[in-house]
Chains A and B, each alone.
Chain A
Amino acid sequence: MKIDFSFLSKYHEALLMGLGTTLQLTVICFGLALVLGFVLALLRGSRIKPVAWAAMLYVEFFRGTPVLVQLFWIFYCLPIFLGTELSNFTSAVVCLSLYGGATMSESFRSGLKSIGREQYDAAHALGLTPWVRTVHVLLPQAVLRAVPVLLSNGVGLFKESALISAVGMAELMFIGSTISNRTARPVEVFTAIALIYFIVAFPLTRLVAVLERRILRRLAI
C-alpha cells in the first residue's frame, strides 16, 4: 500500500476544528479541575473527620476507576438522575473536570504538605482568619510548588480528552476516525492525529520541565 499524506490537506479545516474543540475542552476542564482540586485538597486536610473521609473517597474513586467508565456513567446515567438532557460538551466538561479535580487535589496536597508548620504558626500569631490564611498564605505557596505537576496534569487532561470521541463528540480524535472511515486510509489519518497531539503536548511537557527546574532553584527545595 502506498502511503500518501497529501489527501489530508483537503481535511485540514475539519482537523483544525477538532483540535480547537479539544483545546477548548482542555482549557475549560483545566480551570474547573484546578478549583475543584484545591477545594478537595483543603477538605482532605479538614479536622472534621467525615468531611475529610468524603473528600478522600471522592479522590480515590475517581483515581481508581477508568476515565472511560466515568465518562459512560456521566453520559448515560447523569441525565437520568437529573431528568434533563445534557449536551455532549457539558457531559465531557463535567467528566474531565471531576476526574481532573481528583488528580489535581493530589498535587495540591503534596504542595500543601511541603509548607512548613511555622507558616501556620505565623499566620496564627498574626491573628489571620482561616480565610485569609488559606488565600494569602497557603494558596500562593502551595500553587507555586505544585505548578509543574498541575501543568503536567493539564497535559494529561489534553490526552484524556481523546476519550470523549467514544460518546460521539466532534473533537480531534472523533474527526480523525470519521475521516479515516470515509477515506479508508487509517494509516495516514491516525498517524497525522497522533502527530497533532504530539505537536501540542510535547512542547508543553518541555515547558513544564523548564519551569520545574526554575521553581526548584528559586525555592531552593
Chain B
Amino acid sequence: MEYDVQFHYVKQAWPYLMEGLWVTLQLTFAANVIALTLGFGIALLVMSRLWFVRAPFALLIEFFRCTPVLVQVIWFFYCVPILFGVYLDPMPMGILALGLNLACFNAEAYRAAIQAVPREQMDAGVALGFSPLQRVAYIIFPHALRAALPVLITNGITLFQQSALVALVAIGDLMYMGKQVATQSYRPIETFTAVALIYFAVSFPVARLAALVERRLDVARA
C-alpha cells in the first residue's frame, strides 16, 4: 500500500500533544513525590522487628511488584470507589495508583540502601544519644537516599513510561492525545512516531543523568 508520510499533520496537532505531555509530566511528578516519601516509610516498616508490622507491608510490596500495572490502574479506577466509597477525579486517582505502585518499587530500592548503611553509623547515633527518629532522619535517610538515587531515578523514568497506561482509563495524557489525533487525522504512523519520539526525548536525557549519578557515586565511594 502506498502511504505518503507527511509530518505536517503532527505539526497541526502539536498543541494537543504538548497539552498531553504536560498532563503526563504532572502525573509523573506527583506520583514520584508520593513514592519518594511513602517508599521510604514502607521500607522502614518492612524492616521492622515486629512481624505483624512487617508482614502486611511485605505483602503489599510483593503484590504491587507481581501484578501488571495495567491491572492495578484498572483496579483503582473501578474498585476503589465501590469498595471504599471514595470518589476522586481521574487525575488524583491515576496519581494515587501510579504513586503507590512506584512507592513499592522505591521501597525495595530504599531497603537495599538502608541495609548497606554501615552498622557503625547506627552505633554512633546511639552513642551520641540520638532518638530513633533522629537516627532515621539525620543518619539513615541521607545515606539511603544517596545510595538509592540511581535506582530511584530509573524507577521514576519507568513510571513516566508506565503513566501512558492511564490513557486507557481516559485521562488526557500524551498517549491519550496521541490516540485521539491518530484516529481523527487517520495518520497513525506520523502521530505514534511523534508520540514515541516525545517520550524518548524526555526519558533519554534523564536516563543518562541516572547513569552519570551512578558513576559519580561509584567514584565517591571508591
Contacts and interface: CB of A to CB of B under 8 A. Distances in A.
A198 B193 contact: no
A165 B132 CA distance: 48
A177 B73 CA distance: 13
A163 interface: yes
B182 A76 contact: yes
Nearest to B179: A72
Contacts, number: 121
Contact of B203 (A64, A163, A180): A64
Q: What is the interface of chain A mostly: helix, strand, loop, or mixed?
A: helix
A191 B66 contact: no
Contacts of B199: 64-66, 69
Interface stretch (B10-18, B121-129, B135-143, B162-170): B162-170
Interface stretch (B32-40, B74-82, B109-117, B144-152): B74-82
Given A69-B178, A190-B78, A77 B204 contact: no
A102 to B, nearest CB: 12
- Residue picked from A69, A76, A165, A177, most chain B C-beta under 10 Å: A69
B155 to A, nearest CB: 13
Contact of B175 (A68, A173, A191): A68
- Chain A interface residue bracket vs B: 35 or more
A44 B212 CA distance: 19
B189 A64 contact: no
A162 to B, nearest CB: 4
- Residue picked from A65, A187, A205, most chain B C-beta under 10 Å: A65
B74 A205 contact: no
Contacts of A191: 75, 79
A88 interface: no
Interface string A132-170: 000000000000000000000001000111110110000
B75 A77 contact: no
B200 interface: yes
Contact of A190 (B69, B71, B192): B71
Given A76-B182, A80-B1, 11 more contacts: A69-B164, A69-B175, A70-B196, A72-B192, A77-B189, A80-B188, A186-B78, A187-B83, A190-B75, A190-B78, A198-B62
Interface of B: 1, 3, 62-63, 65-72, 74-75, 78-79, 82-83, 157, 161-165, 167-168, 175, 178-179, 182, 188-189, 192-193, 195-196, 199-200, 203-204, 207
12 contacts: A64-B161, A68-B168, A69-B164, A73-B193, A77-B192, A80-B3, A83-B1, A186-B82, A190-B74, A190-B75, A201-B67, A205-B66
